[in-house]
Amino acid sequence: MSHEFSIIHEKNGHQPSVDDQVTVAQALYDEGILSEEEAIKEDEIAKLLKERGDELEYKLRTSLDNLRDIPIIVGTFPPGSKHIPISERRDEVIFGEVEETVRVDRDALLDHVHDDDPDEEDELPLTADGRGVTVREVIADDIDIDPEDVEHHLHSGGRDTQRERLNDAIDAIVDSDEVTKRDDYGKVVFKHTAYRYYMI
């Protein structure tokens, strides 16, 4: 074992994954992953280990986390945003299109609400006859507002609030046994970019 890795045994020798940690560190060192410019993602490290014939006893993430604690390696986000906006309806990244996507999906959701609303003159008889719960009622019940306030609720607030309210309304529909979500709207979420790791 090269002297660069003696610190792993000194600091983490009490950890069951210490041998795995040395294996991971050696692989990164051998492959020249020694700067932020060379940093690679966890799945790329897993592929590298497989190509080298290195097998770990514990999860790779365990070794990476323990090596970061010493620290022997650094986990960093790539330049730019740490979060990536995703349209679940489109199943794609939507940098620069978040507000427009929220607007489009909210409008489609409200179309569903309106299409599902009973005709005004039929409302009481249908309810008395055991009419099922409407999309409007599912959303209103989930966030504890009056059903007639659904439109105002989804349109009000700042950009992030509107996105969160759209997502909450969709979750309520998906979780309901009474109504079924349509495919023409979806949540807009922010997902973490993956860490890139390198030796220091």
178 and 132 belong to one structural domain: yes
Instruction: Using the CB atoms, write b or e for 159-184: b if 16+ within 10 Å.
Output: eeebbebbbbbbebbeebeebebbee
Same domain? 89 vs 188: yes
Cis peptide before 71 (omega within 30 of 0): yes
Residue 68 · residue 194 · CB < 8 Å = no
Please check whether residue 199 lies inside any domain of the structure: no
pLDDT at position 194: 83
Residue 15 lies in a domain: yes
CA–CA gap between residue 169 and residue 144 (Å, rounded) = 12
- Tell me the mean pLDDT in the region 42-58: 96
Query: How many other CB atoms sit within 10 Å of the CB of residue 141?
Result: 14
Q: By the 8 A CB rule, do 134 and 115 touch?
A: no
Cβ neighbour number for residue 30 with a 10 Å cutoff:
10
Burial class (CB in 10 A: 0-12, 13-18, 19+), 95: exposed
Best mean pLDDT range from 71-85, 122-136, 175-189: 175-189
Same domain (yes/no): 89, 179: yes
* 139: in domain: yes
pLDDT bin (cut points 50, 70, 90) of residue 131 is: low
What is the mean predicted confidence (pLDDT) over 122-133? 53
Tell the burial category of 22 from Cβ atoms under 10 Å away from its Cβ (0-12, 13-18, 19+).
buried
Mean pLDDT of 45-64: 96
Full residue range of the structural domain in which residue 88 is found: 83-192
Residue with tokens 């795995």: 20
Residues 6+ apart with CB under 8 A from 174: 181
> Is 126 or 5 the better-scoring residue by pLDDT?
5
Q: Over the chain, what is the mean pLDDT?
A: 90
Assess if residue 200 is contained within a domain.
no
Question: Same domain for 174 and 109?
Answer: yes
Cα 164-184-151 angle, rounded to 5 deg: 50
Which pTM value belongs to this model?
0.61
Residue 38's pLDDT is what? 93
Question: Are residues 30 and 95 located together in one domain of the fold?
Answer: no
Last residue within a domain, chosen from 76, 104, 122: 76
Q: Which residues contact 54 (CB under 8 A, 6 or more apart)?
A: 23, 27
The one-letter amino acid code at 35 reads: S
Domain count, the chain: 2
**Same domain, residue pair 112 and 174:** yes
Instruction: Report the alpha-carbon distance of residue 182 to residue 8 in Å, rounded.
Output: 53
- The answer, yes or no, to whether residue 51 has pLDDT greater than 90, is yes
- Start-to-end C-alpha separation, the chain: 17
Q: Is 188 helix (H, G, I), strand (E, B) or coil?
A: strand
pLDDT in the model for residue 123: 52
What is the pLDDT confidence band of residue 4, given thresholds at 50, 70 and 90? Answer: low
Residue 92 lies in a domain: yes
* Same domain for 183 and 91: yes
- Please state which of the ranges 33-47, 48-62, 91-105, 125-139 shows the lowest mean pLDDT: 125-139
Q: Which of 76, 99, 123 marks a domain boundary? A: 76
